[in-house]
Amino acid sequence: MTLKTLTKDDYKNWDNFVDISPQGSLFSKTWYLDALQVRYEILVVEEKENIKAGIVLAKNEINTFANPMLDKYLGILCSPGSTNKHKRDSTQYKSMDILARKLKNIKSFDYYFHPTFENWIPLYWHNFTQQTRYTYRINNSQALDTISNNMHKNIIKANIKNAEKNGITIKQDIPFDTLWELVNKTFLRQGSKSPFNKKKLEYYVTTLKEKGTFVSFGAYDTNDRCVAAGGVIYEEKSAYFLLNGIDIENMTRGANTLLIYEAIKYFHDKCDYFDFEGSMLPGVEPLYRKFGGELTPYMRIWNDNFFNYAKTKAKKIYKKIRYGR
């Protein structure tokens, strides 16, 4: 097995590998990373010119090797491998060991891995650190009636009924400026600026819409005023609820709940899962939990060194000062 950094000429092969990898998602596709306009390189382990494992080493907004905004899952991707379990496991251990030796030299390495990445033992052997995080995912193999029945009746259904009673309607493919305004208002209400650059976010949304992987939703009141907005990216494996904002001054109770419910219904026959992003935020998790999705663990894995220790402490202090959490 050999370690290799891919050139742009290899990117098509990488994207094909992402499609077959159990850990593969659009978050690791080169066109998605290009839409985010982030810096990245791709490191792979090959055997006889076949990729056995690999990882996108993207840089975030502060120029460290970590998930950029709107890129929920990165981390190591493995080949589906042999149908023989022992042979498959042996190949994965060898290829991950080769990657881990290289990744150990990257001081700021700190990524959220895909939920299907379950075995981090080779990284543990190289003194990486792991933290279990959670998201909620709705399994779309269930009938819509079953999904609805799993929702918290007193909150979700009451809010939906209230929104419908007060004339809230849900529209798709709302104007970008409307989406931007409501997402931005959410951060302004918390006393901070939006973390997104408007031009970059517009480029991202436009690119993904052209790819057929982005749908926006808006909840409109009887005055045709958008009071809640959401943005969902999707592929066959999953839809991801990435952007959400509300107009708290003009909000009708249940408008945002109805918006999310309509998004769930829209993607029911298009994706295997509906994934709620940001589910561990204390101001968000209670709402998402009540939609009845499965609590799904995924890993944050980072290089355990003073640099990442200081960075993590600084982030916690910043959030405590800025958001009170």
State both tokens at 293: 């999705």
pLDDT of residue 217: 98
Residues 142, 279 within the same domain: yes
Residues 229, 177 within the same domain: yes
Residues 283, 195 within the same domain: yes
Residues 213, 272 within the same domain: yes
Residues 216, 308 within the same domain: no
Answer yes or no: is pLDDT of 282 > 70: yes
How far, in Å, are 124, 155, 217, 254 from residue 258 at the CA level? 43, 11, 10, 6
Residue 257 · residue 156 · CB < 8 Å: yes
Answer yes or no: is pLDDT of 325 > 60: no
Residues 120, 205 within the same domain: no
Answer yes or no: is pLDDT of 237 > 70: yes
pLDDT in tens, 289-323: 999 999 999 999 999 876 777 777 776 665 555 44
Residues 309, 240 within the same domain: no
Instruction: Give the domain CATH number at 93.
Output: 3.40.630
Residues 56, 176 within the same domain: no
pLDDT in tens, 187-226: 776 666 778 999 999 999 999 999 999 999 999 999 999 9
Residues 154, 268 within the same domain: yes
Percent of the chain's residues with pLDDT above 90? 80
What's the domain range around 104? 2-127+304-323
One-letter amino acid at 221 equals D
pLDDT of residue 320: 55
* Rounded CA separation 180/224 (Å): 17
Residue 176 · residue 205 · CB < 8 Å: yes
Greater model confidence, 156 or 109: 109
Instruction: Give the domain CATH number at 172.
Output: 3.40.630.30
State both tokens at 324: 């009170």
Average pLDDT, the chain: 92
Domain count, the chain: 2
3-state secondary structure 105-145: CCCCCEEEECCCCCCCHHHHHCCEEEEEEEEEEEECCCCHH
Residues 154, 28 within the same domain: no
Residues 308, 290 within the same domain: no
Answer yes or no: is pLDDT of 24 > 70: yes
pLDDT of residue 324: 46
Percent of the chain's residues with pLDDT above 70? 95
pLDDT in tens, 66-87: 999 999 999 999 999 878 888 9
One-letter amino acid at 257 equals T
Cβ contacts of residue 154 below 8 Å, gap of 6+? none
214-220/169-172 β-pairing: antiparallel
- Half-sphere exposure of residue 72, counting CA atoms within 13 Å on the CB side? 24
Residue 73 · residue 115 · CB < 8 Å: yes
pLDDT in tens, 147-189: 999 999 888 889 999 999 999 999 999 999 999 999 988 777 6
Answer yes or no: is pLDDT of 51 > 70: yes
Residues 181, 142 within the same domain: yes
pLDDT band at 126 (very low <50, low <70, confident <90, very high): very high
Residue 311 CA to chain centroid, in angstroms? 21
